[in-house]
Structure 1
Amino acid sequence: MNANIEQYQGNLQYAVDIVLCIDATASMYPVLDSVKSSALQFHDRLNDVMGKKGKSISQLRVKVIAFRDFGDDPGSAIEQTGFLQLPSQSGDFERFLGGIDADGGGDIPESGLEALALAINAPWETGLDRRRHVIVMFTDAPAHPLGTVGASAQGYPAGIPRTIDDLFEQWGYARSQTAVMEQSAKRLVLFAPEEAPWSDPIAEEWDLTLHFASKAGEGLEEFEMDEIIETIANSL
């Protein structure tokens, strides 16, 4: 019986979608290159960890959302890709990451919640046998309340929630009727300061969320990409 179960599990197809929300404001300059370099290693490192567990990823897609501040420069506040399949679209992934410069942002807070809202509403994979949908937020700043700063600017995301309570409803919870993400597949990993909205309400109240604290306005001193890899691998 156990042998049959192991054989069945070995034949499962695993789909992993990752959305990287990257604060690209000036204060992130000291660590942005490290974040980008680690992101480029996702495919190889995840395959290595999964291989050690006797599993393999059938499909890995990555989407990047670079954000700054709609209150400072709406034209550069959001830059994003669609989902890129790795390794076949690694060139596009690398070119986009290479083009992200740490610049602007003005005073904190930034437009991180707009980036998170876009991530939650991404076109996640719904097929294959098992899925993991991971949003990773890299920021050293608190966030403007949704629908306030820059909300009337050209380029402000259309159709996203205008309050954090509405965003929470889209994130969902057990037996939620309003969630746009698959409850069993979703994970949120925050590298963000111990400030609103990251520590409270998100880390405190949202399920399936991990929070690693950064220092507001000082960049991310360090982060562990291994935490993200393990979060994915251990949950498949």
Structure 2
Amino acid sequence: MTSRFEGRVAIVTGGASGIGAAIAERLANEGARVAVLDRDNPDNRHHWEECDVSDSGRVDRAVEAVANALGRIDIVVNNAGIGAQGDVGTNSDEEWTRAWEVNVAGMARVSRAALPYLRESDGASIINMASIAATAGIQQRALYSATKGAVLALTRAMAADHLHEGIRVNCVSPGTADTPWVGRLLQQAPDPDAERAALEARQPHGRLVSAEEVAQAVVYLADPGNRSTVGVCLPVDGGMDALRLRPR
């Protein structure tokens, strides 16, 4: 591995498991000092700050603690999020509020807290985690899709606002990924094997996206060498959004 992030500090929210853990590992392998903001402590390799991104006070304290402990902040990966199932008539007001507070406002809180430190970096980057649900209509994902569509719009607005400050903002849009959350959904299905096969068939390349593939996309966007990549949504979805293949 090259050390393209040597001397840089990255925050990864929701970095204790799944995609977040893969991102934290990949950034660390390439030289970054990584701080995980999560309610759970992932391991002893990365700096950890307990944080609930739906709480502004806890976010502010966690980000300040990272800056004090590691000396700087160069990269913020807003990965923390929660899922939701059902059509528009399914979820309660409380579920809508909770998903919005975590999936959208949570990204704004972390970014807001990190901005003073990012402005001091010579290679600042924010990467938000969107989803294929932001651009493709997916059944039984009304609430989740609404939050991820907001993430996409937020990313582009942030990119426009902060480009002149030297802070690049982009997002990654994974397809259905092989994560613990998806695994729990599969186990709740009447026929988990059939449900997994249906999810795999929905993606043109015929399988679930791996957490490591998403991490690679994040690392590309975070790389200060890619200074002309700004305001983009990078799909990692096996062609689900862009391709329309004929049935085999």
TM over 0.5: no
- Greater relative contact order structure (CA < 8 Å, 6+ sep): 1
TM-score (norm 1): 0.40
The structure where helix makes up a greater share of residues is 2
